[in-house]
């Protein structure tokens, strides 16, 4: 129900919008559409004109936008038309035409009171914005918008103001979004409306802007359908236009149509509308399908939706939820992993509800499989011991949510036997699932045990698209540990394989943890950042070189000395350098590998995995736990051990140990290492023995491990004395390292001028490297005091806006003082978009991180969303950061400073933004051989021709 006060406000606002014209609730005196913004200030409809000739001069002061009116002034027959972005951003190619390179968007902003605020603009390419014929923002240098905003400060009088955006395409993609916010609270200005002069049909436009979701509402014993209508890009206002739901025949018999009210603002935006439809008991449904349709009407515009109510689904969900509740109140049984069963029930009931909502044809078979799973547990059986492909889930220690996993259990498995089996860990590609990668690897979608695969295959979800780094890496290793505890797996025959994103992850994790894997199969992976098109030809900073190396698996190929490498990429999947970079490193190192280059696109798995064809090679390779020759390279103490060697302190960006052992002596060569330990007795060295370390000789100790450290450039026996404030394993940066454990995001609420921006930035960074990890986003006032003991914290705001930053500020190296960024005791001059992001040990718990993002204003917080994906320990920025939005590296952007703290978390002497002289991003990550034109003796098909760097990879299905 709309309150009388709201009706009064609405009448006054629309009357003001129409310039004082008389108005009734049924119709307006002139044919204008008035839109209210969304709760976060978005507006999703403009008048558009295009394509506009690229070199044409446009006199924006002479434009009077109105639907159907011609532009004139040399713009020929161009006329204004209503354009909408639906529920997302404007697709400008669709608005202006696929071949267009320039176009105009316009509207009138009508204010009932003066506004000091922000126009937030996010646009690809070049853009200029004007208000009332005067430019307020111009960006000639084209760049991608990413997820970032250009904050444009406004000071406008009450009344109507014409806004014109001149947009130019400079490549792909070409999209735009617009928001309007009051600077006082970062909410839509009270009483502000967007007018589209001459526009008709507010109801039809509202339907285009409406995000309508109809849920079947699966509940035990039946269904509780729900309809929800959101307007994420705002909505037209017209009190004569009402929203209603005409339910299914069953619901009509119970109560008839449901009204959701009129298109009215409450108080400044159109709120979401939701309605529960009458419940449907399973006994009232017929087998196999939708019960009529639900019709959602906005005025004379209507859309229909199926409501799927399969009784098998409701029954399976009811039994599963009942069993889950019982499992969580009972102690674990001897025969079943109770926690895994409970997580599986939770994950699969949620999956069934989602499948039912969209009418997926597999929902009933999946419900039957879930029912069988429940029956096995209820009858005292153990569904984790069944043969075939099991659909399970594990509880993630990062967010407590179930993470899906599929397991192939061989037909020969007998829990009573002492036999040990090989295991392949299987990593899916981007936007894919454990189900698809398992089907691809086995060559079948059957859930029966594969006759050719006499062993286990484990396919984790690993937090979806987290790229097997941070939370993704943790989930893979936790899933592996779970499998080793649960099934009789030979730890010396564990291999890792994947496709695309999964191929990259297989090499990345395989090289980081070489003790855990005997073989790596990397299909269509991306193994070097230095061949990416989005870094080609761009300047690099020293820290960017370090970070790009960090995430390039080929940079750490030295660690694969004892791991069989299988690489495959289709010849049509360009550039071939993605896989060549890894093959060339193995060839140069003299390590064993096999390469396959079939004449196919990205879906190379169709050939190399056909009929489970890779199982024999992966399952037969056995690891050597204590090899005589160890080579290990790392850039982080998080990844510091290989066999009988461990690096305990680094003196450079990367450290390398090359160690060989014989019966009575060990020879070790190092680079970038200033402390290590050697377990020479465990490696098989016996009796009186010597250790030769970079040419120095020592007597081997009788007990393991033997510790060594550098002192004045020379090696000395004994561990290195570390300071409590020193960087160490798991607390050493860079910023992204905070994602390698439990993490919570905390936004400040002390300053209303920044609160909403801080929350938005916190949500942006939560999603940045997290995949589907459900990290918490909390207001500073709602944070439990103990959270910093169990979690790292990402704090958004300064001491003036965030309560937790205020408490820690004196102990932090950066802060905000007097409208500028403070670095130590110095103030760094910037502009209103200045800010800083950094990582640091939590002063109240040095074993956990605090990452802090602070800015001098809301504009700086919005600008922070332009930060590139590669980040060091800290970065100080201002408005010049803009071109980095959506990029891996800064490129043409400039910052006030960026880099790493020293070993003791102290700032470097200089924070200057320094570019590497004469370094080309196309340079290889390490010494490599040239691409080979010949057939390799180890090749399964044929070696690739020279790569064509810069071309797009061929598209194919995602296993």
CA distance 808 to 812: 6
pLDDT at 928 over 50: no
DSSP annotation string for 417-451: ----EEEEEEE--TT--HHHHHHHHHT----SPPT
pLDDT at 740 over 70: yes
pLDDT at 16 over 50: no
Copy the structure tokens of residue 353. 């509800």
Spatial CB neighbours of 851, under 8 Å, sequence gap ≥ 6: 735, 738, 792, 793, 794, 795, 837, 838, 839, 840
pLDDT at 172 over 50: yes
Minimum mean pLDDT among 127-141, 156-170, 285-299, 350-364: which range? Answer: 285-299
In contact, 207 and 303? CB cutoff 8 Å: yes
What are the CA-CA distances from residue 306 to residues 20, 245, 359 (Å)? 45, 13, 8
Residues 938-949 have a mean pLDDT of 34
85-119 per-position pLDDT tens digit: 999 999 999 999 999 999 999 999 999 999 999 99
pLDDT at 941 over 50: no
654-693 per-position pLDDT tens digit: 999 999 999 899 999 999 999 999 999 999 998 889 999 9
- Tell me the average pLDDT of the chain: 90
Residues 69-81 have a mean pLDDT of 87
pLDDT at 870 over 50: yes
376-422 per-position pLDDT tens digit: 999 999 999 999 999 999 999 999 999 999 999 999 999 999 999 99
- pLDDT given for residue 247 in this prediction: 81
CA distance 205 to 201: 6
What are the CA-CA distances from residue 585 to residues 24, 258, 548, 928 (Å)? 76, 66, 16, 5
In contact, 859 and 835? CB cutoff 8 Å: no
- pLDDT given for residue 250 in this prediction: 54
Minimum mean pLDDT among 66-75, 186-195, 446-455: which range? Answer: 66-75
Scan for tokens 């930060």, then name that residue. 867
Copy the structure tokens of residue 570. 């289709």
Q: Which of 407, 309, 320, 437 is nearest to 369 (CA)?
A: 320
Most confidently modeled of 165-169, 236-240, 330-334? 165-169
CA distance 836 to 377: 53
CB atoms within 10 A of CB 220: 15
In contact, 104 and 48? CB cutoff 8 Å: yes
Bridge pairing between strands 115-123 and 175-182 = antiparallel
pLDDT at 4 over 70: no
Report the percent of the chain where pLDDT is more than 90. 80
- pLDDT given for residue 402 in this prediction: 97
In contact, 577 and 920? CB cutoff 8 Å: no
- pLDDT given for residue 937 in this prediction: 28
pLDDT class for 10, splitting at 50, 70, 90? very low
Spatial CB neighbours of 671, under 8 Å, sequence gap ≥ 6: 652, 655, 656
CA distance 645 to 672: 15
Phi, psi (rounded to 5 degrees) for 125: 80, -150
pLDDT class for 75, splitting at 50, 70, 90? confident
567-587 per-position pLDDT tens digit: 999 999 999 999 999 999 999
591-623 per-position pLDDT tens digit: 989 999 999 999 999 999 999 999 999 999 999
CA 544 to mean position of chain CA atoms: 20
- pLDDT given for residue 100 in this prediction: 96
In contact, 178 and 42? CB cutoff 8 Å: yes
Residues 58-72 have a mean pLDDT of 91
CA distance 268 to 40: 10
What are the CA-CA distances from residue 949 to residues 226, 522, 544, 551, 587 (Å)? 50, 20, 20, 19, 21
pLDDT class for 958, splitting at 50, 70, 90? low
Minimum mean pLDDT among 7-11, 809-813, 844-848, 869-873: which range? Answer: 7-11
618-642 per-position pLDDT tens digit: 999 999 999 999 999 999 999 999 9
CA distance 825 to 641: 39
- pLDDT given for residue 19 in this prediction: 41
- pLDDT given for residue 25 in this prediction: 28
pLDDT class for 268, splitting at 50, 70, 90? confident
- pLDDT given for residue 255 in this prediction: 63
- pLDDT given for residue 266 in this prediction: 80
Scan for tokens 């419940």, then name that residue. 279
pLDDT class for 536, splitting at 50, 70, 90? confident
Minimum mean pLDDT among 29-38, 443-452, 690-699: which range? Answer: 29-38
Report the percent of the chain where pLDDT is more than 70. 90
- The vertex-489 CA angle with 484 and 491, nearest 5°, equals 80
SS (H, E, C) 276-316: ECCCEEHHHCCCCCEEEEEEEEECCEEEEEEEECCHHHHHH
Name the residue with higher pLDDT: 376 or 281.
376
Task: Pinpoint the alpha helices (H) of 897-941.
Answer: none
- pLDDT given for residue 72 in this prediction: 81
pTM for the whole structure: 0.92
In contact, 575 and 647? CB cutoff 8 Å: no
Rg (CA), the chain: 31
pLDDT at 756 over 50: yes
Minimum mean pLDDT among 471-480, 841-850, 944-953: which range? Answer: 944-953
CA distance 534 to 305: 42
Residues 179-184 have a mean pLDDT of 98
CA distance 791 to 774: 14
Query: How many residues are given for the chain?
Result: 959
134-171 per-position pLDDT tens digit: 999 999 999 999 999 999 999 999 999 999 999 999 88
Identify the burial level of 345 via C-beta atoms within 10 angstroms of its C-beta, where 0-12 means exposed, 13-18 middle and 19 or more buried: buried
Name the residue with higher pLDDT: 501 or 334.
501
Residues 702-711 have a mean pLDDT of 94
pLDDT class for 280, splitting at 50, 70, 90? confident
pLDDT at 120 over 80: yes
pLDDT class for 769, splitting at 50, 70, 90? very high
CA distance 328 to 825: 54
At 777 the three-state DSSP class reads strand
CA distance 307 to 877: 50
- pLDDT given for residue 794 in this prediction: 98
Scan for tokens 């798995």, then name that residue. 605
- pLDDT given for residue 951 in this prediction: 31
pLDDT at 492 over 70: yes
- pLDDT given for residue 291 in this prediction: 64
- pLDDT given for residue 286 in this prediction: 60
In contact, 78 and 192? CB cutoff 8 Å: no
């Amino acid at each position: 129900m709309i309150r009388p006060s709201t009706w009064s406000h609405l009448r006054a606002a629309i009357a003001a919008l129409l310039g004082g014209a008389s108005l009734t609730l049924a119709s307006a005196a002139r044919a204008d559409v008035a839109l209210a913004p969304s709760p976060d200030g978005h507006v999703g409809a403009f008048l558009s004109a295009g394509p506009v000739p690229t070199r044409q001069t446009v006199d924006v002061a002479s434009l009077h936008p109105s639907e159907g009116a011609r532009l004139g002034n040399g713009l020929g027959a161009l006329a204004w038309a209503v354009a909408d972005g639906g529920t997302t951003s404007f697709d400008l190619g669709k608005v202006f035409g696929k071949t267009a390179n320039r176009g105009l968007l316009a509207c009138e902003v009508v204010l009932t009171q003066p506004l000091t605020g922000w126009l937030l603009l996010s646009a690809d390419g070049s853009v200029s914005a004007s208000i009332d014929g005067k430019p307020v923002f111009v960006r000639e240098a084209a760049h991608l918008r990413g997820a970032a905003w250009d904050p444009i400060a406004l000071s406008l009088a009450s009344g109507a103001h014409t806004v014109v955006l001149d947009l130019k395409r400079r490549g792909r993609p070409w999209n735009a979004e617009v928001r309007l916010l009051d600077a006082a609270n970062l909410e839509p200005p009270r009483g502000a409306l967007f007018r589209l002069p001459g526009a008709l049909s507010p109801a039809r436009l509202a339907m285009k802007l409406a995000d309508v979701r109809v849920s079947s509402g699966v509940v035990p014993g039946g269904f509780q359908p729900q309809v929800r209508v959101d307007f994420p890009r705002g909505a037209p206002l017209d009190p004569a236009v009402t929203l209603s739901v005409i339910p299914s025949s069953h619901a009509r018999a119970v109560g008839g149509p449901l009204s959701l009210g009129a298109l009215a603002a409450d108080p400044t935006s159109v709120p979401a509308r939701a309605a529960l439809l009458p419940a449907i008991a399973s006994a009232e449904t017929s087998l196999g399908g939708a019960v009529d349709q639900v019709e959602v009407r906005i005025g004379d515009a209507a859309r229909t939706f199926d409501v799927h109510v399969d009784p098998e689904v409701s029954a399976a969900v009811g039994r599963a939820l009942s069993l889950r509740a019982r499992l969580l109140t009972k102690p674990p049984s001897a025969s079943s992993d109770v926690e895994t069963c409970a997580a599986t029930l939770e994950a699969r009931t949620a999956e069934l509800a989602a499948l039912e909502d969209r009418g997926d044809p597999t929902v009933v078979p999946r419900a039957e499989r879930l029912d069988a799973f429940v029956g096995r547990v209820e009858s005292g059986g153990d569904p984790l011991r069944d043969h075939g492909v099991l659909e399970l889930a594990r509880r993630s220690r990062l967010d407590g949510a179930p993470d899906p996993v599929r397991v192939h259990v061989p037909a020969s498995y007998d829990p009573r036997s002492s036999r040990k089996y090989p295991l392949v860990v299987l990593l899916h590609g981007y936007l894919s699932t454990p189900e698809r990668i398992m089907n691809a690897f086995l060559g079948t979608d059957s859930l029966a045990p594969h006759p050719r695969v006499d062993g286990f295959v484990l396919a984790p979800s690993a937090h979806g698209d987290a790229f097997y780094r941070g939370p993704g890496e943790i989930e893979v290793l936790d899933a592996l540990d779970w499998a080793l505890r649960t099934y009789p797996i030979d730890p010396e025959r564990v291999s890792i394989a994947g496709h695309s994103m999964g191929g990259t992850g297989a090499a990345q994790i395989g090289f980081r943890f070489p003790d855990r894997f005997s073989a790596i199969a990397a299909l269509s992976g991306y193994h070097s950042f230095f061949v990416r098109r989005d870094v080609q030809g761009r300047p690099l900073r020293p820290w960017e070189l370090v970070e790009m190396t960090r995430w390039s698996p080929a940079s750490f190929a030295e660690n694969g000395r004892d791991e069989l490498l299988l690489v495959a990429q289709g010849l049509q999947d360009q550039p071939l350098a993605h896989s060549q970079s890894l093959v060339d490193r193995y060839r140069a190192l003299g390590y064993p590998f096999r390469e396959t280059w079939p004449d196919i696109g990205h879906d190379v798995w169709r050939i190399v995995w056909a009929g489970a064809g890779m199982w024999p090679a992966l399952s037969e390779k056995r690891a050597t736990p204590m090899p005589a020759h160890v080579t290990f390279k790392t850039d982080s103490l998080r990844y510091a051990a290989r066999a009988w060697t461990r690096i305990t302190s680094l003196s450079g960006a990367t450290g390398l140990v090359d160690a060989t052992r014989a019966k009575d002596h060990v020879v070790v060569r190092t680079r970038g290492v200033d402390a290590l330990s050697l377990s020479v007795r465990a490696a098989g060295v016996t009796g009186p023995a010597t250790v030769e370390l970079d040419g120095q000789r020592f007597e081997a100790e009788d007990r393991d491990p033997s510790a060594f450290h550098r002192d004045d450039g020379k090696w000395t026996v004994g561990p290195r004395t570390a300071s409590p404030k020193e960087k160490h394993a798991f607390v050493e940066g860079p910023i992204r390292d905070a994602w390698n454990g439990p993490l919570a995001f905390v936004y400040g609420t002390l300053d209303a001028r920044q609160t909403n921006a801080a929350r938005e930035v916190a949500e942006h960074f939560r999603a940045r490297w997290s995949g589907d990890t459900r990290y918490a986003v909390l207001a500073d006032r709602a944070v439990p005091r103990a959270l910093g003991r169990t979690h790292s914290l990402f704090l958004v705001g300064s001491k003036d806006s965030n309560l937790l930053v205020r408490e820690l500020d004196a102990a932090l190296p950066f802060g905000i003082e007097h409208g500028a960024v403070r670095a130590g005791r110095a103030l760094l001059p910037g502009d209103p978009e200045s800010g800083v992001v950094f990582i640091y040990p939590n002063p109240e718990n040095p074993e956990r991180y605090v990452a802090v993002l602070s800015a001098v204003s809301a504009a700086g917080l919005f600008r922070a969303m332009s930060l590139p994906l590669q980040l060091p320990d800290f970065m100080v920025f201002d408005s010049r950061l803009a071109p980095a939005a959506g990029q891996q590296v800064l490129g043409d952007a400039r910052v006030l400073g960026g880099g790493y703290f020293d070993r003791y978390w102290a700032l470097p002497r200089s924070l200057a933004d320094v570019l590497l002289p004469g370094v080309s991003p196309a340079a290889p990550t390490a010494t490599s051989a040239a691409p080979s034109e010949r057939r390799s003796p180890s090749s399964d098909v044929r070696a690739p021709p020279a790569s064509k760097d810069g071309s797009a990879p061929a598209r194919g299905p995602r296993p």
